[in-house]
Amino acid sequence: MEFLIDRLPLYLGGAWVTVQLTVGGIALAFVLAMFFGVLGTARSGLLRAVSTVYVEVFRGIAALVLMFWMAYALPLLTGFQLDGRFAAILAVGLNVGAYGAEVVRGAINAVPRAQTEATIALDMSWAQRMRLVILPQAWAQMLPTFGNLSIELMKATAVAFLIGVADITAVAEQMRQATGETVLAFSGALILYFLIAQVLIFGVRLLERRANRRLGRTPPGGRGLLALLRPPAVTASGGAK
């Protein structure tokens, strides 16, 4: 324990870098997932094809290889050297965004057809239908999987030290080489990754409760801190309560 306490500032510095990579990657992945996911539900075959190309290309490329390509191959082609952190964010964001796009597309398609027909009968524009009716319902279905993808993205950033990013894993490796304490050095990294994951889980649970409450699915007494820590209840129809 003394080993970890003495080196806590170094670990916290690495944790801050990991948080930056995670937040940046999640932001990029979310924008890409929403854009290409909605595009994947368009009536136009060309737009659906564009979405499919993005999803299949970046879902089929390993995040680590894409990270290396961004950091080492892209500068050779363009003459522009990306910052290591930015390269890592691009790699994990593009990769996870492709998985997220399929989640968005599936959630939108899962909204009952009668809802869409009702909006058409009310003469709503496409933008109004998506903003007011379809996306609010699809959003509640997306969130659990988005939470899983966010945690996977955070864990994927652990390889960013291979392109020179001083994240948690880099600090743990430096401590191992400097002290020879392999178990203690990487135990500190394990603890920090676990804590970051718990924060992400809590945040997603909060968003789930809020989304379900807006749809009238909040169970009685489900508004306190303990309710946020509990997984959302599942109804007989398969939806979260």
The residue segments making up the domain with residue 214 are 2-229
- Count Cβ atoms below 10 Å from residue 33 Cβ, excluding itself: 26
What are the pLDDT digits (tens) for 20-63?
999 999 999 999 999 999 999 888 889 999 999 999 999 999 99
In the chain, the DSSP E strands lie at: none
Lowest mean pLDDT among 26-35, 108-117, 138-147, 168-177: 108-117
Q: How many Cβ atoms are within 10 Å of 178's Cβ, its own excluded? A: 10
> What is the CATH number for 21?
1.10.3720.10
SS3 state of residue 112: coil
pLDDT at 224 over 80: no
The C-alpha angle 69, 99, 209, rounded to 5 degrees, equals: 130
Residue 64 CA to residue 70 CA, distance in Å, equals 10
Model pTM score: 0.84
Give yes or no for residue 228 having a pLDDT over 70. no
Distance between CA atoms of residues 102 and 193, nearest Å: 27
Tell me how far apart the 2 most distant CA atoms of the chain are, in Å.
70
Residue 235 located in a structural domain: no
Asked if residue 74 is part of any domain, the answer here is yes
